[in-house]
Amino acid sequence: MGKKKGKKTGDSAQLPFATTTAATTPSTSAPTVVAAAQQTRPTLGASGDQQPSGLQTTQQSRGLYPAQQPKEQGPAQKPKEPGPAQKPKEPGPTQRSKELGPTQQPKGQATVQKPKEPRPAQKLKEPVPTQRLKELCLTQQPKGQATVQKLEEPGPAQKLKEQRPAQKSKEPGPTQQPKGQAAVQKPKEPGPAQKPRESDPTQRSKEPSPMQQPKGQVPVQQPDDPPSASGVTRQGGHGKSKGRGRDIDRKRDAPAKRDSDVGKEIVKYPAGASGEAVFKPVLRPDTGGTVGPKIKLLANFFPMKFREDVVVFHYDINIEPDVKSKVRTREVVNHFVKLQKAAGIFANVFPVFDGRKNLYTAKKLPLRNNQDEIAFEMVGERRPFTMKIQLAGEIPFRPLLAFLCGESREPALEAIQALDIILREMPNLRFVPVGRYFFTNSTGCSMGPGLDLWKGYYQSVRPTRWKTVMLQLDTSVRVFHKGQHVLDLIVEFFGLRHIDEAASLRPADWAAFAKHIKGLQVETTHQVDIKRTYKIIEISSKPANELTFPLNQPDGKSIPCIVSQYFKQQYNIDLRFPKLPCLQAQPKEKHRYIPMEFCIVKKGQQLKKLTDEMTANMIRRSAVPADERQKLINGVVQELNLNKDIYMKEFGLEFSPHMIELNGRVLPAPSMRYRNQNITPRNGSWNMRSAQFYSSAQVEKMAVISFDRRTNIPIIMNFVTSLSKAARELNMQLPLNLCDNVEYGNRAEDVRRLLSNLRRKHGPELNLVIVIMPNFKSSEIYGTVKKVGDTEIGIPTQCVQPKNVLKNNQQTLVNICMKINSKLGEVNTIVASPSVIFSKPVMIMGADVTHPSPGDFSKPSIAAVTASYDAMAFKYAARIGIQEHRKEIISDLSKITRELLLNFFKKTNGQKPKKIIFYRDGVSEGQFREVLAYELRAVQEACYSLQKDFQPLITFLVVQKRHHTRLFCKNDADKQGRSGNVPAGTMVDEGIVHPVEFDFYLCSHEGIQGTSRPAHYHVLYDDNSFTSDELQKLTYHLCHVYARCTRSVSIPAPAYYAHHCAFRGRHYIDSCQTKDLPERDSEIARVLKQMNDACITHTDITGMFFT
């Protein structure tokens, strides 16, 4: 996940920005923390350390960090003398050795110490109170935090404004500041929207450098206090965190750990290992944004009404014998309800069932002691069932109304879940359910042998800001297996004229058919009155008249029996096709073989794994213009006719069949700055004709490799000449002549030889290799090119399709130049008027995790993290991590973030980010709690590992694209493009958003095909106290700095880059000896290490290799 050249290099104390400390002897009154890993851990200038010459923190220049415009630093500041209320007793000498950790303050010692007169070559030493690990690493900085910040203009000693005395808390902690003691405030006076809360009483009034922690500061984790996802205060935080609406629940009376234990815990502490965190969401900071003209919109949300006096009765049910299938469980429960309708417990009651264990009614059931056991039978079942039903609780709707109206912060999840199940009961009876989707029937479009495209819809109950719940509806299409006889499927699959021709099929043909039918459920027909369902796992290698299986005998023994003879003896049936193989059903050890002539593929089974061709075909058929999609959704509403739903009437629900109308805003597009002009986008795109790159690459040597024989030498040279001409117009230099002859390859195995030869002949002066791909789609060749170029040899490569070489289209050439320029570490364009947060160093991060396809159970998941390292957030570094199968939490995020912080420090001439904005892609609402608890913690631990008091303000957002919210223009005049979509920059933060939490929808791109899908942003953590306008503007601007096109993209560039990197990682690990994870846990770590090593990029790759 780092860089390599020959062999890997890790972070060590020998790095140029690592600091050293003077050797001292620790005091007996201040026990020393021994932390082995701290001896070799590089820091960003820890307190008491001397920074190397030239790497001191400098003031950011206008537009660029000192890495681009160095600026002289003024003389060091003189710390302010503490006042009378702050003046402590003179402590004994406390010193730290060169290799030892910080010292702990003795019990009872004052938290503020008068500094000794420093010698010229010696910095101040301070005693430090004990802090918990939660207080430093896990939470937000309190609003108006009293930690001392360095003045923006370094120079002579400057006086800091004093903050008002901190208020005494109800339960003061052991390190609380005495009443009346002044706390030092940041020099900048907060505005009305950022009025500071209660200051931190544990802070000293001296003024260290902005990124230096007071010497000896050590966080301590309480063993019984889990990490808080919502805000365990940062260093010195007491009571409340800076993020809005999050109070801190902490145990103040828990004893602190010994310092000797703390150091070891910091080194070995795994992220999130101490238990589940408490998730407390960020509340909306204001009434919503105000920037941009308003636009009238419609959304696919339909308001609902419910009576607040309704109480829903929740029952737990248990079926014996156990039924594993959810579909079968619903069949059994529906049969039971039908039997009990007349004079049983469900007389005059319409219950709803979730398909698992939960049943809801609007009336209380007449059960004995609120529980009962009832036996019943079903046709076709050998044994009777017993239904155990017990009252689990009562769910009133009044708390839900209080939550929607803002009177309560408890989201009333049980009531929302009950509403969702009520609305799903009738569709479950009428349609084919697949998760939250319901599919009605086939569209008549064939997607291959035995496959059809079905139409359906999605529905979900959503609490909204309009003080009501709404039903969200959207259309959908999926590929399903046809409900047909297996013999007909064989004819269709192999293109036969009659099933008799199947006897001549080869074993390889049957193996292909077995792959297609594996996992499908089939119904048997050899018994007229009984239909059983089996799941297919294999096809037998022998025909039915030769295949034997062990037949159990009454004496407990088994004898071999031929399948065809068994059906003759048991059912008196002669097989019509005895030469066909049999289907084997699970479980395998029971040797269940069923002749194909007795099997019908059960209707309504979704195809789980689509080919690339199927996916493209399905997208083409489902991508309909906005107007048509709006009509389809309204058609679903009419078909459902929910106001006549007996279950909705039973629970007192009403439904509005009209889409909700709301006000959106169109954010103004930022002006994009190029070297010679500024360009303002129109509806999400701009033309850079006559514009030049903000900073341009200069390529000295360039070579071409071709895997397409149609592109001969004259064609290639014509392409190179045109590309060089297009580059010159962009102020970018590409050579007209190649440094070597064009080399041709045929297979992926040729890539390593061709690239190695070029590197050996031309050395590091070879800046770029253009690779012309074959005419057919070959992910193997592409993946090998990127693997060898990025990780083994260190040559930037640009792959080009042969059709683009032949056409020489000007716009295509410009797009290729944009990719090359960013690959070589230069800047295409920047936002002319960036957000105010860029006035100080800020690091923008993006993260994503990709998982294997649903049918794959052995391949690993791939995580990718990107982080900016320039003043305008255009340049990004990336790290790729391989982790366990389908694991969403990024395992090595702390290590990755540490590497990216060090890269930021190096690239910006010793700057340390004051703020970190983290865009996390691919997280569902159910994973918010877990992701925040572990990944936010990992980022904070990475900061702490570099420097004890390095606490940048963090904002953590989740970016969601896989949702079903659709926006439509109410007025035709507002519609954009041929698809009639909403304009780029459409913002919605009212109506359909969360009732109290900080979230918004932003459609930042132009909808070219189909209906635009806005991105949904949910703020999980916010140290920076962003207003709605500030965060929305920043997010929209980041959608314009995507290096691969002159368009604003659908999500911010760092999240988009992380998505690309995760897929690039899949190509990297394809070269490993083991592509799949082993079954043994003991082997997984070894294989993951091998895969992660394969993803380390070469040190010569310095640009954005993923563009």
Query: In the structure encoding, which two tokens stand for residue 939, read together?
Result: 């980022």
The pLDDT score that the predictor gives to residue 835 is 87
Is 368 exposed, middle or buried (CB count within 10 Å of its CB: 0-12, 13-18, 19+)? exposed
Long-range contacts of 751-759 (CB under 8 A, 24+ apart): 751/705, 751/781, 751/784, 751/785, 751/788, 752/784, 752/788, 752/792, 754/705, 755/705, 755/785, 755/788, 755/789, 755/793, 755/795, 755/797, 756/788, 756/793, 758/703, 758/705, 758/795, 759/793, 759/794, 759/795
The pLDDT score that the predictor gives to residue 349 is 95
Is residue 19 a contact partner of residue 52, using CB atoms and an 8 Å limit? yes
791 alpha-carbon distance from chain centroid: 25
The pLDDT score that the predictor gives to residue 657 is 96
Residue 365 CA to residue 351 CA, distance in Å, equals: 10
CA neighbor of 526 nearest in space, from 585, 460, 572: 572
Burial 968-981 (b: 16+ CB within 10 A, else e): bbeeeebbbbebbb
CA neighbor of 15 nearest in space, from 62, 52, 63: 52
Give the bridge partners for 162, in sequence order. Answer: 184
pLDDT tens-place string over residues 957-1010: 999 999 999 999 999 999 999 999 999 999 999 999 999 999 999 999 999 889
Residue 946 CA to residue 289 CA, distance in Å, equals: 37
The pLDDT score that the predictor gives to residue 3 is 62
Residues with Cβ within 8 Å of 553's Cβ and at least 6 positions away in sequence, in order, are 559
∠ at Cα 432 (311, 351), nearest 5°?
Answer: 20
Tell me the pTM.
Answer: 0.77
Strands 743-744, 701-706: pairing kind: parallel
Strands 672-673, 162-163: pairing kind: unpaired
Q: Which helix (H) or strand (E) holds 318?
A: strand 311-320
Is 644 exposed, middle or buried (CB count within 10 Å of its CB: 0-12, 13-18, 19+)? exposed
Is residue 683 a contact partner of residue 976, using CB atoms and an 8 Å limit? yes
What is the length of the chain? 1107
Measuring CA to CA, how many Å separate 64 from each of 61, 206, 908?
6, 31, 9
The pLDDT score that the predictor gives to residue 515 is 93
Residues with Cβ within 8 Å of 919's Cβ and at least 6 positions away in sequence, in order, are 844, 845, 846, 847, 957, 959, 1035, 1038, 1051, 1052, 1054, 1055
Burial 597-625 (b: 16+ CB within 10 A, else e): bbbbbbeebebeebeeebeebbeeebebb
Residue 515 CA to residue 592 CA, distance in Å, equals: 18
Residue 1012 CA to residue 982 CA, distance in Å, equals: 7
Measuring CA to CA, how many Å separate 338 from each of 319, 325, 334?
16, 20, 6
CA neighbor of 1094 nearest in space, from 2, 281, 357, 134: 2
Neighbours of 375 (CB within 10 A): 9
Is residue 35 a contact partner of residue 266, using CB atoms and an 8 Å limit? yes
Residue 266 CA to residue 197 CA, distance in Å, equals: 30
- DSSP for 369-391, please give it: TTEEEEEE--TT-SS-EEEEEEE
Neighbours of 309 (CB within 10 A): 9
Residue 33 CA to residue 217 CA, distance in Å, equals: 10
The one-letter code for the residue type at 526 is H
42 alpha-carbon distance from chain centroid: 30
Is 90 exposed, middle or buried (CB count within 10 Å of its CB: 0-12, 13-18, 19+)? exposed
The pLDDT score that the predictor gives to residue 4 is 59
Residue 469 CA to residue 308 CA, distance in Å, equals: 12
DSSP 686: -
The runs of H, that is alpha helices, within 198-298 are 259-268
Residue 319 CA to residue 330 CA, distance in Å, equals: 11
Query: In the structure encoding, which two tokens stand for residue 403, read together?
Result: 């939550």
Residue 642 CA to residue 499 CA, distance in Å, equals: 46
Burial 807-836 (b: 16+ CB within 10 A, else e): eeeeebbbbbbbbbbbbbbbbbbbbeebbe
Is residue 707 a contact partner of residue 749, using CB atoms and an 8 Å limit? no
pLDDT tens-place string over residues 408-433: 888 899 999 999 999 999 999 999 99
Residues with Cβ within 8 Å of 182's Cβ and at least 6 positions away in sequence, in order, are 83, 85, 86, 162, 163, 165, 205
CA neighbor of 868 nearest in space, from 936, 915, 818: 915
What is the mean pLDDT, run by run of 10 residues, along the chain of 1107 residues? 49 36 35 32 37 34 42 42 43 38 42 42 36 37 39 36 38 41 43 41 37 39 35 34 37 35 30 47 94 98 95 96 88 93 90 95 94 88 90 96 90 94 95 92 86 94 93 95 96 95 93 94 89 92 95 90 95 95 94 96 91 86 93 95 95 96 97 96 94 96 95 95 96 93 94 96 94 89 95 96 94 96 97 91 97 85 97 96 95 97 96 97 92 95 95 97 96 95 97 95 95 97 96 97 96 98 94 80 89 94 95
Measuring CA to CA, how many Å separate 729 from each of 676, 813, 816, 880, 1046?
12, 11, 13, 35, 16
Residue 20 CA to residue 82 CA, distance in Å, equals: 29
Per the listing, tokens 């109800």 go with 170
Q: Of all residues in the chain, what percent carry a pLDDT higher than 90? A: 64
Residue 596 CA to residue 578 CA, distance in Å, equals: 9
The pLDDT score that the predictor gives to residue 313 is 98
Q: Which helix (H) or strand (E) holds 566?
A: helix 563-571
**Quick one: three-class SS letters along 263-291?**
HHHHHHCCCCCCCCCCCCCCECCCCCCCC
